[in-house]
Amino acid sequence: MLILVTNDDGVYSPGLRALADAMATLGDAVIVAPDRNRSAVGHALTLEQPLRAEEIEPGIFAVDGTPTDCVNLGIHGLMMQRPDLVVSGINSGSNMGDDITYSGTVSAALEASLMGIPAIAVSLNAKIFSEADLLTTTRFIIVLAQQVVKKGLPADTFLNVNVPSGPCHGVKVTRQGKRRYGQAVIVNEDPRGRKYYWIGGSSVGFEDIPGTDCCAVSRGFISVTPLHTNLTSDSFCETLKNWPVLCDGGVL
């Protein structure tokens, strides 16, 4: 089995190496990851300029691009054959609720899913990882990855895993929750008196909705949220068809 391992914290992140070591127990693990921290780049793709990939150790490639770039380069340029699985992480800090739309970690898994390859994004709800937390995470991901490869995932569907820090009480299948954010933009002046803006908006909590990722992780459970790459709101399609401007394909 061939596994592509990537992340958005960069190729030197300890979470990435721990994940690759875990995957190496299942097959051949190749790392293709950004050469530096590229958190919050979302599903950005580098189209306007070339990319470089340096093999810094055997089977470990550092790319001067985004996590989405890494998945592209790994699969279409660097790896000898198409991987059976793509795993992204272990991210430093959780990726839950709306955060997943900004997350490079999650977007890398999304990219693999768009290519028809089963994918898992993994995040740990801690900035610095304890050995115990890492062990919980890697043990779980090994078992989950085995099941994903054995059973497959539906088309355009991938898994987003978040692991709590500290005692772990089990696993929950969850929905994407909703976070609450603090002051969104800080306005200040630079040393030359020119105004600048800094996007703040750190999470100050979450909406405590049972069944969501935020809720599960806050109670000490690993959350597994199946995500899909098709964003269509089917439920609203029918309503929209009754809007006057959209009725029955009417000519403008």
Under rule CB under 8 A, residue 244 binds its own copies: yes
Nearer to its own copies, 21 or 239 (CB): 239
Closest distance between its own copies and the C-beta of residue 57, in Å? Answer: 18
Closest distance between its own copies and the C-beta of residue 9, in Å? Answer: 13
119-to-29, 155, 197, 207, 249 alpha-carbon distances in Å: 14, 11, 36, 27, 38
Select from 23-31, 82-90, 121-129, 152-160 the region that touches its own copies (CB under 8 A): 152-160
Of 205, 123, 198, 202, the closest CA to residue 165 belongs to 123
- Spell out the residues 6+ positions from residue 135 whose beta carbon is closer than 8 angstroms to its own: none
Closest distance between its own copies and the C-beta of residue 151, in Å? Answer: 7
Closest distance between its own copies and the C-beta of residue 172, in Å? Answer: 5
Site for its own copies in 213-242 (CB under 8 A): 221-222, 224-237, 240-241
Distance of alpha carbon 51 from alpha carbon 69, whole angstroms = 8
Under rule CB under 8 A, residue 26 binds its own copies: no
Distance of alpha carbon 204 from alpha carbon 106, whole angstroms = 21
Q: How many residues are present in the chain? A: 252
Site for its own copies in 31-90 (CB under 8 A): 37, 39-53, 68-69, 72-73, 75-77
Amino acid at 248: D
Under rule CB under 8 A, residue 162 binds its own copies: no
Closest distance between its own copies and the C-beta of residue 60, in Å? Answer: 16
For 53, half-sphere exposure in the C-beta direction (CA atoms, 13 angstrom radius) is 21
Select from 14-22, 82-90, 96-104, 124-132 the region that touches its own copies (CB under 8 A): 96-104
Select from 21-29, 85-93, 125-133, 140-148 the region that touches its own copies (CB under 8 A): 140-148
Distance of alpha carbon 19 from alpha carbon 143, whole angstroms = 13
Q: Within 10 A of 14 (CB to CB), how many other CB atoms are there?
A: 13
Closest distance between its own copies and the C-beta of residue 87, in Å? Answer: 15
For 41, half-sphere exposure in the C-beta direction (CA atoms, 13 angstrom radius) is 21
Distance of alpha carbon 141 from alpha carbon 122, whole angstroms = 8
Member of 58, 131, 151, 193 binding its own copies (CB under 8 A): 151
Amino acid at 127: K
Under rule CB under 8 A, residue 131 binds its own copies: no
Total binding residues toward its own copies, as defined by CB under 8 A: 87
Distance of alpha carbon 67 from alpha carbon 32, whole angstroms = 9
Site for its own copies in 97-126 (CB under 8 A): 98, 100-102, 107, 110, 114
